[in-house]
Amino acid sequence: MRAAGGVERNCQFPEIHPRPRPAGFLPLLGETASPAGMTHVFVYGTLKRGQPNHKVLLGGTHGRAAFQGWGRTAEPYPLVIAGEHNIPHLLNVPGQGHRVVGEIYAVDEQMLRFLDEFEGCPDMYQRTPLPIAVLEWEGTRGAPRETPAADRTVQCFVYSTATFPPEWLHLPYHDNYDSQGQHGLRYNPRENR
């Protein structure tokens, strides 16, 4: 297994206490808090709309998640489909691969804790703050009132992996994951394993 240097393998982060901001603020680079104590999370794989695990973000069972918009990583990263269950992995190797497209959600603390467990953090994935370039902002409840300009950078937590077999770096890199994509690597849902 390979570990990227300097990556913290711990999902225990201090509680987020947002600083008072005027209505309609966007988090500054370096912050992941969104209005009303919510935290921005960027999803690029099976949690996106239309993908097999999106349902866990719905209904409030695991906490609150509000869709904010679409974005892409500010830097290129390798997004690979790997393992016997064809799971998408964003490898924490900045500068390689593509600028990966995904969705930005504002989540509450309960949902963030659920996602840590769901994503196998810190063993399978590590929750890392990364700058995400906004492609389109929809912003619903609990979101900024102002629409950020395209390519405005917003800090989001991303579940990436820093520990992986070295051969994963030689797999095809993707820029926009779809479980039914032309790659032919169908995701095997948890309930079927």
Burial label for 59, CB within 10 Å (0-12, 13-18, 19+), is: exposed
Average pLDDT over residues 154-160: 96
Q: Is the pLDDT of residue 114 over 80?
A: yes
Rounded to the nearest 10°, the torsion over CA 171, 116, 75, 155 is 170
Kindly report the pTM of this predicted structure.
0.79
Residue 147: what pLDDT?
53
**Beta 163-164 vs 126-137: how paired, if at all?**
unpaired
Higher local confidence (pLDDT), 4 or 186:
186
Annotated active-site positions, please? 119
| CATH classification number, 33-175, choose in 3.40.50.300, 3.10.490.10, 3.40.50.2300, 1.10.3720.10 | 3.10.490.10
Q: pLDDT tens across 64-95, in order?
A: 999 999 999 999 999 999 999 999 999 999 99
Domains of the chain by residue range: 33-175
- The encoded tokens of residue 58 equal 């719905």
Task: Go through 70-108 and write b for each residue having 16 or more CB atoms within 10 A of its CB, e for each that does not.
Answer: bbbbbebbbbbbbeeeebbbbbbbeeebebbbbbbbbbb
Give residue-wise pLDDT tens across range 161-184.
999 999 999 999 999 999 999 999
User: In this model, does residue 157 exceed pLDDT 50?
Assistant: yes
